[in-house]
Structures are given as structure tokens and as C-alpha cells.
């Protein structure tokens, strides 16, 4: 189906009920609908937005084009949860209906102030020549969930020296003032982030560019997120235009972070270490963090990428969000663990301890499950797990003890995705003690290595009959202990 500009910018409010019912039926019949991830009822989901704890609940919005699996007129869709596990669909949170968001309510963030949730986002507009002008807008949501939008945008101009790629504000409070960091592109077509401040969240003053050690690092920095943890400052962002380097930067666009000293809000200087990718898998982008009610820093990402076709497109929908992850800092790196609340998903449990010698053996079956596997003794050159396996399909996650690498291979996973970007993802692990922690859903896998030192997130599209879980050892023997829960 060829999506024209007119089709992409149809409004949800103008759509015939019968058309929406037909689309919903088509989506519901998709064999790859997830069982425990946030996913759109119809159409396309992308960036998580407005992630926060407010009025006793977690609120999470996401970019949504309801009419098909393409990027079109974006709404904010609203979900909420009391426990980060079970999410309730609330409905449309922000509609693109004003002059300042006529062509989409783009990404942004949320912060509580005076018992009100302030949601700051980018309003996308296009003129008759299809030239973009972004606005930064602050909407308000009260405790009853009622949303109000301003008559005028809160930041109306792009500062001198930057292009119209200027979006995705993330807001935080320091002292008595509020700060926003916005992803930007300089006029020389390099990526960066800029800072604003406010004493009321409505009137904003431009401070200037955040000063980092990355001057020519891609052509646009999307979805910036800054937070502090004890004595550290952490800057998460999604730079576009990074060249491949060894096992790194293999996807069309990247997401990663810098850990350093706290951002100096007077000089705007951020002293930091090297850039690390957040996720080593095939499908991860545009993450956003928030503080949990108990002070934990929680991250959720988009399990997908722009400009990539997925097998679910034919079923009228695309993408989902990752499971929430708790972030901590260890040795100047972010450690990402699945939030402990996810244990609520666990149903029947199976346990096995065994030794494999140059063999592959089936131990479990499952389509939606959690699996923890620890290596006790590893004298093999390779040890791994095959999930969603059958005679002709499997996805493998493997430790190569010679290369000291973890390798995710989806070359046999079922329906192919973006093969031109490769079918393996790898990263180096220095620890000889290896622990795999997998969350597998109908069409995805999230793999946490060594309690969150590395993570691989990927969509997979096998046949529903492919449900075997196998373990293998090659080039010797490995003893392992594994626990598996149905979800």
C-alpha cells in the first residue's frame, strides 16, 4: 500500500467508525500481537513520552499514528499503571489540533508541579512549501486526567545558529528552577543539545548549548534526557548519523549515554566519559527515564527504529515499548535491570541443571516466558540458548569463550527484518561468569547479560508453532543452571 501525504495526515476524529473497526479486527488477528508489552491498538507506536509518577500512578504516553503502520499525524496516546507491569489504555492524551501542532504532537516529557502534571512537547508544523517550524508547548493535566493546552506556544522561535530540527524537550528541576534540554542540529548540520530555564514551567529563557566533548557526533541528537545519580550526571540521547565501528553502531540510528560529572548549569559544561550504546540489539531507540515513587531511575525505550519495515506492517500495526528497566551506575557505566515488579508476571516454574557436551538439547517449551540461565562450569568454546525454535526456525543468544563475546543471531528467527543491516549483534564481555536473563514475548526478546551489564533488545517474527527452548554447547562441555517461568 502506497501511503500518500494526504493519507498520512488524516485526522483520527474524521475517520468513519466502520473503517476503524475493520482496522482493529485486522490488528487483533495478527499472529504477532504481544502478550505483556505495551503496544498500539492500531497503527504505529514510536517514542515513549511523558513518563512519570503522578497522583499515585505511573503515566506513560507514546507517539501514535492510529491509521496505519507508518509515520503520519502524531498523537500522544496515554497509558497508566500502578505497578509498571499491568498497563491500562486511557486513550488519546494530546491531540494535534492547534496552529502550533497542526502536523503532529511530537515527543516530550512530563514533570509534576503544584499537584499538576506539566507535559512539555514539540509541536510540529508545516507550511505550504512543506517547510517545518517546530514549537515547544506545555500542556497541563490535572489529577482527574483532564488535559488543557495553551492558546500560544511556550517557545516560539529556534535560536540563532540552529536548523528546524529542534525537538523533544526533557524537563527536570534543580533548586527552585526548572530546566529543559532539547535535541538540536547546528547550521553546519551537526547534532547537539541546548538548554532552557524557567521558574514556572511556562516562560522559558534560552541558556545556550550544552557543552560536551562530542562536536561532530552525528547530524542530529534526538530524545535527550538528563538526570543525576549521586555525584554523577547522566546524559542519554539518540544521535543520528553515526558510522559503524567494529561491533558498535550497527543499527540505522543509535541510542546511548554519557556518564560524567554533574552538568554545570552556569557554564553549561558537561565533563564526561566515552559514549556507550544503551542496547546491543536490533530494535531499540528513543528511550526516556523517570523517577519511581521510591527513588529508582526507570527507563523505557521504543522497541523499533525509524525507516525500517516490520512484518506486522501487513497487519495494520507496528512496534511496542520495552519492559521498564532500573538504572544504576557501576564503573562509569549504566547497569540496566528489569524492574523487580516484573516478577508479578511469573506463572508456572521449571528448573533444570545439566551438563552439555558438543550437543543441542531441548529442555522447555514456551512462547511467552522468562528464563534465567547461569553457567556453572564452561569448558566449551560456545554455549548458548535457542528460543522460539522448531525444525526450521530459532533465535540464538550465545557466549563465545574464545572471542569473549555475546552474540545474538536472528538469521533463522522467522520473517526477516532489515536484513541489510545484518543478522547478528555482538558485544565483548570481560567476565568469565556468564548469566543470561531473557524475557520472550510473542514477537520480541529482551536479553539482560550479567545482571544488566549489557542488554540486547530485538523483535522476532517466528511461526507460532516454533516454541522449543534449547540449550547447546560446542567445542567442549558446559554445566548450567536454568529457571523458566511461563508468562
Kindly report the length of the chain. Answer: 487
CB 195 within 8 A of CB 140: no
Residue 268 burial (C-beta neighbours within 10 Å; 0-12, 13-18, 19+): middle
Residues 6 or more apart in contact with residue 27 via CB below 8 angstroms = 33, 41, 42, 315, 316, 317
CA–CA separation, 154 vs 203, rounded Å? Answer: 6
CB 105 within 8 A of CB 76: yes
Which whole-number Å values give the CA distances from 183 to 162, 168, 270, 360, in the listed order? 10, 6, 15, 47
Residues 6 or more apart in contact with residue 295 via CB below 8 angstroms = none
CA–CA separation, 485 vs 467, rounded Å? Answer: 14
Query: What is the gyration radius of the CA atoms in the chain, in angstroms?
Result: 22
Q: Could you say which of 47, 279, 315, 441 is catalytic?
A: 47
DSSP-assigned states of every residue in 310-364: -GGGGGTEE-EEPPPEEEEEETTEEEEEE-GGGGGG--SEEEEEEEEEEEEEEEE
Helix (H, G, I), strand (E, B) or coil at 28: helix
Candidates 345, 281, 312, 339; CA nearest to 414 is: 312
Q: Cα–Cα–Cα angle for 237, 289, 276, nearest 5°? A: 40
CA–CA separation, 176 vs 344, rounded Å? Answer: 38
Q: Phi/psi class of residue 398: alpha, beta or left (left: φ > 0; alpha: ψ in -120 to 50)?
A: beta
Candidates 141, 152, 132; CA nearest to 50 is: 141
Q: Where do we find the cell 522476532?
A: 460
Q: In the structure grid, which three cell numbers stand for residue 212, read together?
A: 560536551
Neighbour tally for 20: CB within 10 Å: 15
The question of whether 432 is a catalytic residue gets the answer: no
Q: In the structure grid, which three cell numbers stand for residue 368, read together?
A: 511467552
Helix (H, G, I), strand (E, B) or coil at 14: helix
Candidates 400, 402, 427, 398; CA nearest to 410 is: 398
Residues annotated catalytic, as ranges: 47
Amino acid at each position: 500500500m502506497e501511503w500518500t501525504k494526504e493519507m498520512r495526515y488524516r485526522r483520527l476524529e474524521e475517520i468513519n467508525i466502520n473503517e476503524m473497526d475493520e482496522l482493529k479486527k485486522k490488528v487483533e488477528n495478527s499472529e504477532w500481537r504481544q502478550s505483556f508489552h505495551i503496544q498500539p491498538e492500531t497503527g504505529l507506536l514510536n517514542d515513549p513520552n511523558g513518563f512519570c509518577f503522578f497522583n499515585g500512578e505511573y503515566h506513560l504516553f507514546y507517539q501514535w499514528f492510529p491509521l496505519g503502520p507508518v509515520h503520519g499525524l502524531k498523537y500522544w496516546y496515554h497509558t497508566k499503571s500502578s505497578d509498571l507491569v499491568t498497563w491500562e489504555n486511557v486513550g488519546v492524551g494530546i491531540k494535534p489540533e492547534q496552529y502550533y501542532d497542526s502536523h503532529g504532537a511530537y515527543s516530550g516529557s512530563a514533570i509534576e508541579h503544584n499537584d499538576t502534571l506539566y507535559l512539555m512537547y514539540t509541536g510540529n508544523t508545516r507550511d505550504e512549501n512543506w517547510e517545518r517550524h517546530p514549537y515547544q508547548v506545555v500542556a497541563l493535566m490535572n489529577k482527574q486526567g483532564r488535559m488543557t493546552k495553551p492558546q500560544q506556544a511556550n517557545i516560539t522561535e529556534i535560536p540563532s545558529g540552529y536548523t528546524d530540527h529542534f525537538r523533544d524537550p526533557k524537563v527536570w528541576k534543580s533548586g527552585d528552577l526548572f530546566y529543559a534540554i532539547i535535541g538540536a542540529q547546528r547550521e553546519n548540520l551537526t547534532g547537539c543539545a541546548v538548554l532552557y530555564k524557567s521558574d514556572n514551567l511556562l516562560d522559558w529563557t534560552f541558556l545556550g548549548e550544552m557543552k560536551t566533548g562530542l562536536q561532530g557526533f552525528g547530524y542530529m541528537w534526538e530524545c535527550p534526557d538528563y538526570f543525576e545519580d549521586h555525584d554523577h550526571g547522566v546524559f542519554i540521547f539518540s544521535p543520528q548519523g553515526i558510522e559503524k565501528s567494529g561491533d558498535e553502531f550497527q543499527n540505522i540510528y543509535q541510542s546511548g549515554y554519557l556518564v560524567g560529572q554533574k552538568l554545570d548549569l552556569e557554564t553549561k559544561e558537561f565533563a564526561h566519559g566515552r559514549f556507550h550504546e544503551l542496547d546491543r540489539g536490533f530494535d531499540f531507540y528513543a528511550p526516556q527515564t523517570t523517577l519511581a515513587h521510591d527513588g529508582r531511575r526507570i527507563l523505557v525505550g521504543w522497541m523499533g527504529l525509524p525507516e525500517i519495515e516490520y512484518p506486522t506492517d501487513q497487519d495494520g500495526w507496528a512496534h511496542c515499548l520495552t519492559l521498564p528497566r532500573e538504572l544504576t551506575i557501576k564503573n562509569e557505566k549504566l547497569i540496566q535491570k528489569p524492574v523487580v515488579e516484573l516478577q508479578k508476571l511469573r506463572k508456572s516454574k521449571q528448573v533444570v541443571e545439566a551438563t552439555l557436551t558438543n550437543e543441542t538439547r531441548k529442555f522447555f517449551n514456551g512462547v511467552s516466558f522468562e528464563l534465567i540461565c547461569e553457567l556453572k562450569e564452561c569448558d566449551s568454546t560456545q554455549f548458548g540458548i535457542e528460543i522460539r525454535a522448531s525444525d526450521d526456525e530459532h533465535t540464538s543468544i550465545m557466549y563465545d569463550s574464545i572471542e569473549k563475546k555475546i552474540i545474538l543471531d536472528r538469521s533463522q528467527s522467522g520473517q526477516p527484518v532489515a536484513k541489510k543491516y545484518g543478522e547478528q549483534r555482538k558485544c565483548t564481555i570481560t567476565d568469565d561468569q556468564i548469566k543470561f536473563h531473557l524475557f520472550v514475548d510473542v514477537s520480541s526478546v529482551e536479553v539482560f547479560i550479567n545482571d544488566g551489564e549489557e542488554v540486547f533488545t530485538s523483535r522476532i517474527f517466528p511461526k507460532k508453532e516454533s516454541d522449543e527452548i534449547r540449550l547447546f554447547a560446542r567445542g567442549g562441555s558446559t554445566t548450567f543452571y536454568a529457571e523458566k517461568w511461563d508468562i
